Amino acid sequence: MLEQRINELFGDDDPSGFGTGWWSGILASFFGVLALGAVVCLHFPQVLTSPELRSYYPMPVMRLLIQGVIVAALVFGVASALLRRKKILGLTGMLLALLATLLGGSSVPINESLHAGPAIGLDWFLLDMLLMTLIFSPIEVLWPAYPRQSVFRSEWLLDIGYFLSTHLPIQITSFLILLPATQLSAYFGIPAVLAAVGSLPWLVQVLLAIAVADLCEYAIHRLFHTVPWLWRFHAIHHSSQALDWIAGSRSHIVDDVVVRAFMLVPMMFIFPHDIIVAYLFFVTIHATWCHCNFGPTVRWLEPWLIQPRYHHWHHTSEKAALDKNYAIHFPWIDKLFGTHYLPADGSWPHTYGLYKEKLPAGFWAQTFYPFQRRKAKAAVATGTQA
Ligand SMILES: [Zn+2]
Ligand SMILES: [Zn+2]
255 contacts 276 by C-beta, under 8 angstroms: no
Q: How far apart are the CA of 212 and the centre of ligand 2, in A?
A: 19
Q: How far apart are the CA of 210 and the centre of ligand 2, in A?
A: 18
Query: Ligand nearest 325 Cα, by number?
Result: 2
Range 260-265 contact pairs with CB under 8 angstroms and sequence separation of 24 or more:
260/177, 260/178, 260/181, 261/177, 261/180, 261/181, 262/216, 262/217, 262/219, 262/220, 263/213, 263/216, 263/217, 263/220, 264/177, 264/178, 264/180, 264/181, 265/180, 265/181, 265/184, 265/185
Q: How far apart are the CA of 249 and the centre of ligand 1, in A?
A: 8
Query: Ligand nearest 259 Cα, by number?
Result: 2
Q: How far apart are the CA of 322 and the centre of ligand 2, in A?
A: 9
What integer is the mean pLDDT of 249-276?
A: 88
Q: How far apart are the CA of 357 and the centre of ligand 2, in A?
A: 15
Q: How far apart are the CA of 204 and the centre of ligand 1, in A?
A: 27
Q: What average pLDDT is seen over the chain?
A: 89
Residues in the chain, overall count? 386
Question: What pLDDT, on the 0 to 100 scale, is given for residue 133?
Answer: 93
Q: How far apart are the CA of 245 and the centre of ligand 1, in A?
A: 10
What integer is the mean pLDDT of 85-108?
A: 93
Closest CA to 206 of 304, 278, 151: 278
Question: What pLDDT, on the 0 to 100 scale, is given for residue 380?
Answer: 44
Q: How far apart are the CA of 237 and the centre of ligand 1, in A?
A: 6
Q: How far apart are the CA of 234 and the centre of ligand 2, in A?
A: 7
Is residue 232 pLDDT above 90, yes or no?
yes
Is residue 378 pLDDT above 70, yes or no?
no
CA pair distance 255, 262, nearest whole angstrom: 11
CA pair distance 325, 238, nearest whole angstrom: 13
Q: How far apart are the CA of 333 and the centre of ligand 2, in A?
A: 15
pTM of the full structure: 0.88
Q: How far apart are the CA of 221 and the centre of ligand 2, in A?
A: 6
What integer is the mean pLDDT of 271-278?
A: 84
Q: How far apart are the CA of 193 and the centre of ligand 1, in A?
A: 32
- Note the pLDDT tens digit of each residue in 283-299: 999 999 999 999 999 99
CA pair distance 267, 279, nearest whole angstrom: 10
In this prediction, residue 84 has a pLDDT band, given cuts at 50, 70 and 90, of confident
Q: How far apart are the CA of 234 and the centre of ligand 1, in A?
A: 10
Query: Ligand nearest 289 Cα, by number?
Result: 1
Q: How far apart are the CA of 223 and the centre of ligand 2, in A?
A: 10
Query: Ligand nearest 288 Cα, by number?
Result: 1
CB neighbours of residue 129 within 10 Å: 19
**CA end-to-end distance (rounded Å), the chain:** 29
Q: How far apart are the CA of 199 and the centre of ligand 2, in A?
A: 35
CA trace torsion 53, 69, 33, 171 (10° rounding): 0
